[in-house]
Structure 1
Amino acid sequence: MGVLDVFRRVRYYSPMTQIVLVGLVCFLCPGMFNALNGMGGGGQMDRTTGNNANTALYCTFIVFGILGGSIVNLFGVRWTIFCSGLTYALYSGSYIYLNHTANGAFTIAAGAILGVGAGILWAAQGMIMVSYPREEEKGKYIAIFWIIFNLGGVIGGILPFAINFHSEKDSLSDGVYIAFVVLECLGALMGLALAPPAKVVRNDGSSVVLVKYTSVGKETVGILKLFVDPMMLALLPMCFTSNFFYSYQFGPVNASIFTLRTRGFNNIFYWGAQMVGAYALSYLLDNQRMTRRTRGLVAFAIVAVFFNVIWGGTLKQQLKYTHGPLPNGEPTDYPGGLIDFLQHSRAAGPIILYMLYGIGDALYQNFAYWLIGSLTNDSQKLSRYAGFYKGIQSLGATVAWQLDAKSVSYLHQLIGNWVLLVISLVPMLYVVWTLKDHSEDPEDASKADSADEYVEKQGEAVYV
């Protein structure tokens, strides 16, 4: 074997390289989408179209999130991620049309198409993130992905903040949306750089994937089994809740009490705080001096306490106002009007609270992925588990975005978020309590031949 071959096998085909690559894809695609979404209403003063587009997005996401794992299993990671990435660019570009026509139909349709792509992309991402590393490294790999991914949100927050720094407009300019489209197209292209999972080899020489060629029938049965899997049923409330709070944080908070440029400023810290939260939690989740159950219980306690504290602080803030700027020109009823980041005495508390939202999101999402990754080491199952997680997550998001679109009171939206969090904690605790120190599947040792032989026989579609 030549030096180049050794380099390719050790570096390019290592799990870490693949995690970094998929992190960069998500940095440029979902990361930019998060930055745009975090502006509230896709950066438009009137959030109606953005909310309806998100509802359409998450409706299709529900279906293709659940089906996504099987679609990726059948067709491979490269082309599924490439095609999925392009749907993000289509969605961002649709806002340029909205700026010039005030017709939201195209944006809503683009949202529905994005839901298809996002469901497939996140199923592939979830499988890569939780199945490639060894058991004792899963927390670190999840954190590394989360840091790279959320760096996209940080950069995406800088763009509108810088471009609109001196602008008095109520909506983002075409230039901001064009920048998002270019970056998202680049992210889609990066998906083609991913290696087939059956070629990925860990540092200890073990192959990530040792499974036989899958089929439509096998994947159909696998999907149906998700709905009778006791652990998946127990985690349903967690999945449903895990993105529910976005609509409230981005709309009734960020878009309702802050100026346009401050929304972008806030997103820099929101997504940056996610990186800090993910990095800190990874040390606990991979701490081998504690049993897996103990690590899970401590992480669970941190998530539960942190989220209840920030919702308590949010309640105190929410009682000060009932609405943001309205399409008829009526300003927000937040005391003193919209907050600008240069108004230090007014801005400090609300901006810090918004930053804490980012930490809370990272803690919840990273713990959720770690919990799912602790249930099995079977890559095929994990792709379906990840798809199930994103699908049910999208069901929750669909409901949440419609609550804001239908002008449900901000206080009631907050209460709904808080109640759902409390409900999700009980079955999460049950799953944590059942964790074992190792989740190796008995059949792993008997899975045929080698990954390289399967790649030679079936190409990338062997798995993923």
Structure 2
Amino acid sequence: MEKQPAHVTADNPSASVVDPPRPKGWMYRSFNVGSWSTSWYASPRIQLGMVAFVCFLCPGMFNALSGLGGGGKSDAYLADNMNVALYSTFAVVGFSAGTFVNRLGVRLALSFGGTGYTLYSISLLVSEHRYVPAFNIFAGAYLGVCAGLLWAAQGTIMMSYPPEQNKGRYFAWFWCIFNVGACIGSLIPLGENIHVTTNKTVSDGTYIAFIVLMFAGACLALFLCDADKIVRPDGSHVILMKNPSWKTEIVGLYDTLRSEPYIILLFPMFWSSNWFYIYQQNGINAAHFNTRTKALNGFLYWFAQIVAAVILGPLLDVERFRRSVRAKLALISLFVLTMVIWGGGYAWQRHYTRETVAADDFVPTDWKTPGYVAPMFLYFFYGMYDAIWQGIVYWLMGALGNSGRKLANLAGFYKGLQSAGSAVMWSLDRDKLPFMSELASNWGLLSGSILIAAPVVFFKIKDSIPVEEDLMGTDETVEDVLPPGLIEQKREGQGNP
């Protein structure tokens, strides 16, 4: 291994005369990307960028399609059934997805995950020409399996690859790229249906565009490096098991809960983190707006997520305050936003019910309709709230450790419970739960889960995690994951604001 020239970067603010040595090989050769210097293929930021583009093309396009309400169809019944199957299997797979990711590697998990999104869109297209309910339900269930693996792999990368002091910025970077995919995906149906002022199903061309882009995402994932190849700017490696087996990974899943049972207090936040999508997409966007306005609302929703991520990420990493202080401030701010934004949602929801929008004389709202600005801004702020909620939850999990193995299990718990909540809410929406009841369930779950999580945030978030603590339960040693010059520094907790 040869020493590399030193460069001060956001990831390496304390660079000395030379950067730590990296392994030989093409994936560790430095190159410049704009203002970024000393980037290499197997670096955290390049790999996270690639993962972001995989999510741009797969779940990003799925979000754009779902954001139209009913999977782009005028009647949400089929999409509700497909999504009940999707999130039911997602919930089951999600709990153990971290185990599969640790065993298979992030590259294969992400690529396999991308195939589910492609099949899901294919089934929606086929359903426009044939009555194939069995195929539709299978596609939903298959996507649940695939999405469980994809999001567990994504969570592992986003939480374990970055240095401790940059996890908020890495989240912002990922979330922006990911949601650019949803924004572009929303422009596809907007362009295809720009003159459609009724509430109808999107065109075949819209579905075909989504299918092609999702398949491209599954292929892109094959070009990723697995976690054992990653070298951070300080020379450290991601903490993994050297020779994982199914037995060690299942035991590791159990150990995560046994050694840190307090994470159960975060489970209500996990459960409610996707609960609100169904109400927002079906109860607001699909129910009240015509086709072209639904597409515009979808674009604004995902664009709002980009805006929120750009603001939130750097705030979570502000070095002026200790990480434990930032965690408390973040949770308090999230509670205040929950009261304000969902209070505004209550004021809007009082104006209509399921019965009024189903009446024969109901005219869907168009962007030219007087008064459209109010629900437009509400929907925009709902999008911002989603990004803030997800960003804070991911950041809190990342603050509990740096071990890829541990964080894969946490990501699995997160996506499993999130999907279980979604499955319940999709089934309630399918059974025509009143819109006001859907809103009340969201408001109550979100605010209550913040209060339940408060003890973890106030008493368990540390300013830095000692490397020995992260290595507990693995067969790695300090020498395996840190270069010699960094071992004592990390043991003493230096350089980790």
TM-score normalised according to structure 1 size: 0.92
Residue in structure 2 matched with residue 395 of structure 1 by the alignment = 420
Residue in structure 1 matched with residue 252 of structure 2 by the alignment = 222
Matches within 5 A, 1:28-39: 28-39=57-68
Name the CA distance, whole Å, in 2 between partners of 1:232 and 1:35: 32
2:465 maps to 1:439: yes
Matches within 5 A, 1:197-208: 197-208=227-238
Which of 269, 278, 283 is the equivalent residue of 2:309? 278
8 Å CA contact 1:310, 1:357 repeated in 2: yes
Residue deviations 1:93-119, cap 9 Å, x none? 111111112443322220110000000
Residue in structure 1 matched with residue 388 of structure 2 by the alignment = 363
8 Å CA contact 2:256, 2:406 repeated in 1: no
Residue in structure 2 matched with residue 166 of structure 1 by the alignment = 195
Residue in structure 2 matched with residue 424 of structure 1 by the alignment = 449
Residue deviations 1:246-286, cap 9 Å, x none? 00000010001111111110111100110111111112210
2:225 maps to 1:195: yes
What amino acid is aligned across from residue 364 of structure 2 in structure 1?
L
Residue in structure 2 matched with residue 459 of structure 1 by the alignment = none
Which of 322, 329, 348 is the equivalent residue of 1:298? 329
Residue in structure 2 matched with residue 111 of structure 1 by the alignment = 140
Kindly state the Cα deviation for residue 425 of structure 1 after the two structures are TM-superposed.
1.0
Higher relative contact order (CA 8 A, sep 6+): 1
SS in 2 for 1:100: coil
Residues 408 and 3 from structure 1, CA distance in 2 versus in 1: closer, same or farther, beyond 3 angstroms?
closer
Q: List runs of 5+ in structure 1 lacking aligned partners.
A: 453-464
8 Å CA contact 1:256, 1:324 repeated in 2: no
What amino acid is aligned across from residue 262 of structure 2 in structure 1?
M
Residues 250 and 444 from structure 1, CA distance in 2 versus in 1: closer, same or farther, beyond 3 angstroms?
closer
Which of 17, 25, 30 is the equivalent residue of 1:7? 30
Kindly state the Cα deviation for residue 232 of structure 1 after the two structures are TM-superposed.
2.2
Residues 18 and 326 from structure 1, CA distance in 2 versus in 1: closer, same or farther, beyond 3 angstroms?
same
Matches within 5 A, 1:293-372: 293-323=324-354, 330=360, 332=362, 337-343=363-369, 345-372=370-397
Shifted more, 202-211 versus 417-426: the winner is 202-211
2:178 maps to 1:149: yes
Q: Which has the higher helix share?
A: 1
Name the CA distance, whole Å, in 1 between partners of 2:299 and 2:199: 20
8 Å CA contact 1:252, 1:324 repeated in 2: no
Name the CA distance, whole Å, in 1 between partners of 2:283 and 2:387: 20
Name the CA distance, whole Å, in 1 between partners of 2:116 and 2:356: 30
Kindly state the Cα deviation for residue 3 of structure 1 after the two structures are TM-superposed.
9.5
Name the CA distance, whole Å, in 2 between partners of 1:147 and 1:123: 19
Matches within 5 A, 1:17-36: 17-36=46-65
8 Å CA contact 1:46, 1:326 repeated in 2: no
What amino acid is aligned across from residue 338 of structure 1 in structure 2?
P
What amino acid is aligned across from residue 371 of structure 2 in structure 1?
R
Which of 85, 91, 111 is the equivalent residue of 1:62? 91
What amino acid is aligned across from residue 386 of structure 2 in structure 1?
D
8 Å CA contact 2:118, 2:211 repeated in 1: yes
Q: List runs of 5+ in structure 2 lacking aligned partners.
A: 3-23, 32-37, 483-497
Name the CA distance, whole Å, in 1 between partners of 2:335 and 2:240: 37
What amino acid is aligned across from residue 440 of structure 1 in structure 2?
P
Residues 283 and 324 from structure 1, CA distance in 2 versus in 1: closer, same or farther, beyond 3 angstroms?
farther
Name the CA distance, whole Å, in 2 between partners of 1:87 and 1:243: 19
Residue in structure 2 matched with residue 81 of structure 1 by the alignment = 110
2:232 maps to 1:209: no
What amino acid is aligned across from residue 216 of structure 1 in structure 2?
W
Residue deviations 1:380-429, cap 9 Å, x none? 00001001100000011111111110001111111111110121011221
What amino acid is aligned across from residue 108 of structure 2 in structure 1?
W
Residue in structure 2 matched with residue 461 of structure 1 by the alignment = none
8 Å CA contact 1:77, 1:124 repeated in 2: yes
Q: Structure 1 segments of 4 or more deviating over 6 A?
A: 324-327
SS in 1 for 2:465: coil
Kindly state the Cα deviation for residue 326 of structure 1 after the two structures are TM-superposed.
7.1
8 Å CA contact 2:42, 2:230 repeated in 1: yes
Residue in structure 1 matched with residue 270 of structure 2 by the alignment = 239
Residue in structure 2 matched with residue 457 of structure 1 by the alignment = none
TM-score normalised according to structure 2 size: 0.86
Residue deviations 1:53-73, cap 9 Å, x none? 111100000111111111011
8 Å CA contact 1:96, 1:177 repeated in 2: yes
Kindly state the Cα deviation for residue 330 of structure 1 after the two structures are TM-superposed.
3.0
2:152 maps to 1:129: no
Name the CA distance, whole Å, in 2 between partners of 1:331 and 1:217: 61
Residues 154 and 127 from structure 1, CA distance in 2 versus in 1: closer, same or farther, beyond 3 angstroms?
same
8 Å CA contact 1:226, 1:388 repeated in 2: no
Shifted more, 124-133 versus 438-447: the winner is 438-447
Residue in structure 1 matched with residue 493 of structure 2 by the alignment = none
Name the CA distance, whole Å, in 1 between partners of 2:267 and 2:199: 42
Which of 81, 86, 101 is the equivalent residue of 1:72? 101
Name the CA distance, whole Å, in 1 between partners of 2:425 and 2:25: 54
8 Å CA contact 1:93, 1:177 repeated in 2: yes
SS in 2 for 1:346: coil
Residues 276 and 238 from structure 1, CA distance in 2 versus in 1: closer, same or farther, beyond 3 angstroms?
same
SS in 2 for 1:342: coil
What amino acid is aligned across from residue 220 of structure 2 in structure 1?
M
